[in-house]
Amino acid sequence: MRNTLPVPTTLPSGARDGRDMRWEAHRARRRRQLVEAALRAIRKHGPGVGMDEIAAEAATSKTVLYRHLGDRTGLYRAVVAAVDETILADLTVARASNGDVVSRIEAMVRSYLALVERDPAIYRFVVTRPLETHDGDPADPVHQITDRIAHQLTTTVHEHLTATGRGVDADRLAPVWGHGIVGLVRSASEHWLGQDSTDPASPPVLSADDVTAAVVDLIRPALRGARQT
């Protein structure tokens, strides 16, 4: 009788069944669709949007949202991740632009403010944490975004200080300036969004370019200044 090898009923360790891979791909697509629906609902209903409005926009139930995104905090984090991806991609392009350090940081600031101007409801949704996440948590997604932005700025400033003969100051100053610029731009963005264009007694409403120019005017002297001894 010819010997035959038994057909394995389980996959070897590390192997993946094609059905599992297809199911994972389906879940990833469905998750993206739900996040896109959440973004549309935020634009339509504002940063105080609820799960009912998001489910309606997605033409599904809250149960399905919870199944794919975990819970309210999970949905919030998924939206923030989508925004994070957009911001960091834009900043990477801006940082790689030609020009001196001031021009590159100017491009990065303008890129960030362009997102705020284009999607103010989504920006407010992210920074106000309406779906029960907690500021101060080390894993807070807003802090993670700002840390990654600050890292890009820190790297840019460090390279500039080193290239201009201020390398001895780079390790000390670059992180402070990188995080300081992020805080400055974020605070300016929140003030900018609070402008009231209907109140004749209010100052003129600024554009994204106006805010960018004001920020850059403030940091330019430090970036171009001579080393202090």
Residue boundaries of the structural domains of the chain? 19-70, 79-224
pLDDT of residue 39: 93
Q: pLDDT tens digits for the chain (229 residues)?
A: 444 444 444 555 555 566 667 767 777 888 889 999 999 999 999 988 888 999 999 999 999 888 888 888 888 888 888 888 888 888 888 888 778 888 999 999 998 898 888 899 998 888 876 655 555 566 677 888 889 899 999 999 999 999 888 889 899 999 999 999 999 999 998 888 887 666 666 666 788 899 999 999 999 998 876 444 3
Q: How many residues does the chain have?
A: 229
pLDDT of residue 224: 79
Question: 79-224 adopts what CATH topology?
Answer: Tetracycline Repressor; domain 2 (1.10.357)
pTM: 0.75
Measured between alpha carbons, how far is 79 from 53 in angstroms, rounded to an integer? 15
- The angle at the Cα of 83, spanning 128 to 54, to the nearest 5 degrees, equals 65
pLDDT of residue 157: 92
Q: Nearest to residue 121, comparing CAs of 15, 221, 34, 45?
A: 45
Q: Which CATH class is domain 19-70?
A: mainly alpha
Identical fold for domains 19-70 and 79-224, yes or no, is no
Question: Radius of gyration over alpha carbons of the chain, in Å?
Answer: 23
Phi/psi zone of residue 73: left (φ > 0), alpha (ψ -120 to 50 degrees), beta?
alpha
